[in-house]
Structure 1
Amino acid sequence: MSREAQDDIDFQKYAVDYNPIKIGSIDGTDTEPHDRAIVRALNSEYTPNKLVQGDQHYTIFIGRLNPRTTQDTILAEFSKFGKVLSCRLVKDIVTGKSKQYAFVEYESSSSMEKALREMHKEYIDGAEVLVEREAERRLRGWRPRRLGGGFGGRKQAGQLRFGCRDRPFRRPFLIS
C-alpha cells in the first residue's frame, strides 16, 4: 500500500484523542510544540470530573455565552430540538456568576446532532455561541483551555486549536 493510501486511511478530520501537539498542528503531523500553551498542556495534569453524570455521547458543550444568560434561557433554546435530560450552566463556586459555558444532555443522538447543526454560531442573548460535542469525557487525554488545551479561542488571537468543527484537521502535507 502506498504512503498516500495509508494517509487517507489514517486521516481523521476531527480529533478522536486529545494530544496537545497534534491539536496545535494544522494537519495533525507535528512532533514538536510550537507555542507555550501547548507546552503548558503537555506538562499539566487533569482528571475529568467523576461527579458529572449523563451520557457523554448525547451531551453538547455551549460556549461563549452572554454572562446574563440563564439556565432557563439555555433550556428554552435547546429543548426545541428534542427532549433534554439535563442542562447545566457552569458557575463560579465563589461568586456564583456564570462562567459563560453550559452542557446540555439529550435523550437521543438525533436531537443532539440537530442542535449541533442548528445552534452553532447562532445568537443567544446577543452573543454568538459555539456549540460542540462534549470533549472532557469523550476525548482521552483532554485538557481544558485554562491548562493550555481546548479547541476554542479566537481566530484573531491565534488561539484556535485544530481537530474541532470550527477548525478541522487538513490533509497531511506530503513531502516526497
Structure 2
Amino acid sequence: MTMPKNLIMSTSKTVQQLQAQWVTPENFRRYGQVIFPSQDGKVFDAEDAYLVLDKGTPRFYIMRLERRGRKFHKITRHVQCTQCLGSLAGKDWLIAVCPPNNDVDEPDLANIAAFRIPGNCFIKLEVGTWHAGPYFEHEVVDFYNLELSDTNVVDHFTHDFLLSHQIEFEII
C-alpha cells in the first residue's frame, strides 16, 4: 500500500547544537532566578527565590537521575507553579530553557538557551518557563526538586521538536 504524498512524513532530523553558558543571575533572568548561598539570618530580599506554590501542596524531594547525556527533543513547562532544581554533592549540570509565553502552546525556537549550573547553587524556573533537563555526563546525580505534589500529573505540558520541526538539540 502506497501512502499519498501529502501524508508521507520526513524521517530526517536536524541536530541543532546549543552552546551552554555558565549561569548568572543576569543571564538567567528571562527564565527565573539563580540562588547562591547566603549568610544565615539574612533578611529576605531580591536575591531569594520568589516562589509560586499556592495552587496545591508543595512537594520537596530528591530525585535520582542516571546518566542523561546532552541530547533532547522534548521540552516541558508548568503553568501553575515555579520549580526549583539543584544538584547535591556539588555536581555541575546542564539545562535548556525557553522563556515563558503562556499564550502560545509552543516554545519559540529563536529563544532557546542552554546553561551550565554549578553545584553550589540552585535555579528557580518562572511559571511557564520551558525546560529540558537536567542533563549531565556523571553516572548518577541526585537533584532536589521543589514543585507541587501533582505537577507531573496535572501541570506537565510537553512539546516534541522531532514531531513539529524534525529537530533534536545537543547541549555543548
Q: Report the TM-score when normalising by structure 2.
A: 0.27
Relative CO higher for 1 or 2, CA cutoff 8 Å, sep ≥ 6? 2
Q: Report the TM-score when normalising by structure 1.
A: 0.27
Give the helix-richer structure, 1 or 2.
Answer: 1
Give the strand-richer structure, 1 or 2.
Answer: 2
